[in-house]
C-alpha cells in the first residue's frame, strides 16, 4: 500500500496545468467565472455536444475544479475523478447513476447517519430496495445477491462502530455476479490505502475530512478505476454499448451530475487542492498519534474500553492491518461507565474541542448517540450498534502528551 504512493508528493506537486499560466502562477488560479467564451459558433457546438473538452459553464466543468480532479486522478492512478460539493452529493450521484426502480443495494446498517437516511428513507420511495446485512458474514452477503442487485455498498471502517469487512472477499462475491463494489473510503485517505488492489470499483470520499486540509471546505470525490464491466447494469446498458469500461463515468458526467447540479465550486477546489499537498504528512502524524494514544488510554481504569482497530487485541485487527496498515486512521472511540459520565467528560475537556467532523487539524470529541444519531429511535440505534456510553475522538495534530493530559484531567 505505502509502496504505491512513495512518490505521492512529487507526483502531486509537479503536475502541470492543461495550459501554461500567463503569469507563471505557481498555485492554480481560482477561475471564479460562471461561463466561458468561444471564438466561433462551431467551437461552441463542439463543447456543448461533448466533442471537445472546452469549458462553457461551471455547473458542468471548471478549470480550477478540473485541475483538482486531475490531481486526484493522477495520484490514484484511476480512470476518472469527479469533484462534487459534499460527500453526500458524491454518494447520491453514484447511486443515482447505477440504480433504477426494482433494483436492490446490499449494505450494512453500520453507516454514516445521512447515508443511512438517504438509502433507507429516500431511495425506498423510488422503488430501490436496501438489503441491510452483516457485511463481515460473507455467506449472508452471497445469499442476498440476485439478478436485481445493482451494488454492494460499504464504508471501509464504519463510524463509530469501527467494523471492517474483508474487501477482497466481498469483491470476489460481487464480481462473480457482475455486481460493482462501491466503497466510501473517507476514513483512510488514498495516500495510504489503494482501494483498487482490494477490488473496489467505485471509490467515494468525503473530501471535507482529511483532504480539505483542516476542515476548510465541504466537498466530495467520486473515483472510477475503470475496471468494472457494466454489461449487466440496467441503467448503464446504453452507456456500456457506447463507451465500454467508461460507461459509469460517462453517464455520471454527461447525464447525472450536471442535472443534479452539485459540482464542486472553484473556491473549494482551490482549498482542497492545497489540502491535498499536505495530506500524507498530516495523515501519517494524526494516525500515529491515534495509535499511540489508544494504546495509552487502554491502561486507564476509568475507561471501560478503547476501540481502535490498530490495537492488537481488537477483533478486526488482522483484516485492518492487511488493508490499512499498522495505524488505521485517526478516529477511535472510548466507552465510559454511563451516558452521564460521557457528558461530564466532554464538558471538562480543555484542549480537545466539542465538535462534530473528522480529521480536522484539531482533535474533536462528540457523543454520537445524542448528536449525529440523536433523532433516531433507540431501536434504530440498537440496530446500528450505537451505545449511549460511547465517545468518538477524531485525532488532530496536537502532541500525544497534550491530548493524554487533557483526557486524564477530564476523567477525574
Ligand X SMILES: *Cc1c(COP(=O)(O)O)cnc(C)c1O
- Give the residues lining the site for ligand X (CB under 6 A): 86-88, 112, 115, 155, 159, 184, 186-187, 206, 208-209, 218, 220, 358
Residue 117 burial (10 A CB sphere; 0-12, 13-18, 19+): middle
Smallest distance, Å, CB 269 to ligand X? 14
Smallest distance, Å, CB 85 to ligand X? 8
Rounded to whole angstroms, how far apart are CA atoms 88 and 219? 9
Residue of 119, 106, 240, 226 whose CA lies nearest to 173: 106
In which residue are the cell numbers 471535507 written? 208
Smallest distance, Å, CB 115 to ligand X? 6
Nearer to ligand X, 180 or 219 (CB): 219
Nearer to ligand X, 221 or 403 (CB): 221
Q: Is the bond preceding 160 in cis, omega lying within 30 degrees of 0?
A: yes
Q: What angle do CA 276, 280, 281 make, to 5 degrees?
A: 110
Smallest distance, Å, CB 360 to ligand X? 12
Question: Collapsing DSSP states into helix, strand and coil, what is residue 127?
Answer: coil
Strands 104-107 and 149-155, by their bridges, are: parallel
Nearer to ligand X, 97 or 268 (CB): 268
Smallest distance, Å, CB 373 to ligand X? 13
Nearer to ligand X, 219 or 239 (CB): 219
Q: Is the separation of the CB atoms in 89 and 65 below 8 Å?
A: no
Smallest distance, Å, CB 155 to ligand X? 5
Q: Is the separation of the CB atoms in 52 and 43 below 8 Å?
A: yes
| Closest CB to ligand X: residue number | 87
Smallest distance, Å, CB 91 to ligand X? 6
Q: Is the separation of the CB atoms in 404 and 302 below 8 Å?
A: no
Torsion angle of the four alpha carbons 267, 269, 270, 273, in this order, in degrees rounded to the nearest 10: 160
Nearer to ligand X, 86 or 272 (CB): 86
Nearer to ligand X, 114 or 229 (CB): 114
Strands 202-206 and 181-184, by their bridges, are: parallel
Nearer to ligand X, 90 or 173 (CB): 90
Can you point out the beta strands (E) in 226-295? none
> What φ, ψ does residue 299 adopt, rounded to 5°?
-80, -10
Amino acid at each position: 500500500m505505502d509502496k504505491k504512493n512513495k512518490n505521492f508528493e512529487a507526483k502531486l506537486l509537479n503536475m502541470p496545468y492543461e495550459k501554461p499560466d500567463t503569469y507563471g502562477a505557481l498555485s492554480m488560479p481560482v477561475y471564479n467565472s460562471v461561463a466561458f467564451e468561444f471564438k466561433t459558433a462551431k467551437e461552441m457546438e463542439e463543447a456543448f455536444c461533448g466533442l471537445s473538452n472546452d469549458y462553457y459553464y461551471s455547473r458542468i466543468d471548471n478549470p480550477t475544479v478540473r485541475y483538482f480532479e486531475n490531481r486526484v486522478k493522477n495520484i490514484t492512478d484511476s480512470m476518472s475523478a469527479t469533484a462534487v460539493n459534499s460527500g453526500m452529493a458524491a454518494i447520491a450521484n453514484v447511486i443515482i447513476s447505477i440504480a433504477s426502480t426494482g433494483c436492490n443495494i446490499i449494505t450494512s446498517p453500520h453507516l454514516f447517519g445521512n447515508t443511512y437516511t438517504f438509502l433507507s428513507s429516500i431511495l425506498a420511495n423510488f422503488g430501490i430496495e436496501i438489503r441491510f446485512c452483516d457485511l463481515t458474514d460473507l455467506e449472508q452477503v452471497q445469499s442476498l445477491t440476485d439478478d436485481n442487485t445493482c451494488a454492494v455498498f460499504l464504508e471501509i471502517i464504519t463510524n463509530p462502530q469501527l467494523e471492517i469487512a474483508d474487501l477482497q472477499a466481498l469483491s470476489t462475491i460481487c464480481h462473480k455476479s457482475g455486481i460493482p463494489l462501491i466503497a466510501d473510503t473517507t476514513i483512510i485517505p488514498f495516500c495510504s490505502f489503494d482501494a483498487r488492489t482490494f477490488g473496489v470499483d467505485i471509490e467515494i470520499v468525503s473530501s471535507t475530512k482529511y483532504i480539505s486540509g483542516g476542515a476548510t471546505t465541504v466537498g466530495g470525490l467520486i473515483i472510477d478505476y475503470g475496471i468494472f464491466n457494466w454489461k449487466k447494469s440496467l441503467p448503464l446498458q446504453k452507456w456500456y454499448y457506447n463507451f465500454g469500461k467508461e460507461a459509469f463515468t460517462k453517464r455520471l458526467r454527461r447525464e447525472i451530475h450536471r442535472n443534479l447540479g452539485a459540482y464542486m465550486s472553484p473556491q473549494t477546489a482551490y482549498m482542497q487542492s492545497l489540502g491535498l499537498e499536505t495530506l500524507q504528512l498530516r495523515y501519517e502524524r494524526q494516525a500515529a498519534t491515534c495509535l499511540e494514544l489508544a494504546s495509552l488510554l487502554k491502561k486507564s481504569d476509568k475507561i471501560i474500553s478503547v476501540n481502535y482497530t490498530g490495537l492488537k487485541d481488537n477483533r478486526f485487527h488482522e483484516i485492518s492491518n492487511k488493508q490499512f496498515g499498522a495505524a488505521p486512521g485517526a478516529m477511535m472511540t472510548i466507552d465510559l461507565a454511563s451516558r452521564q459520565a460521557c457528558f461530564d467528560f466532554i464538558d471538562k475537556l480543555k484542549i480537545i474541542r466539542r465538535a462534530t467532523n473528522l480529521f480536522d487539524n484539531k482533535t474533536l470529541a462528540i457523543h454520537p448517540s445524542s448528536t449525529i444519531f440523536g433523532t433516531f429511535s433507540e431501536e434504530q440505534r440498537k440496530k446500528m450498534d450505537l451505545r449511549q456510553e460511547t465517545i468518538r475522538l477524531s485525532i488532530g495534530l496536537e502532541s500525544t502528551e497534550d491530548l493524554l493530559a487533557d483526557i486524564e484531567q477530564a476523567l477525574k
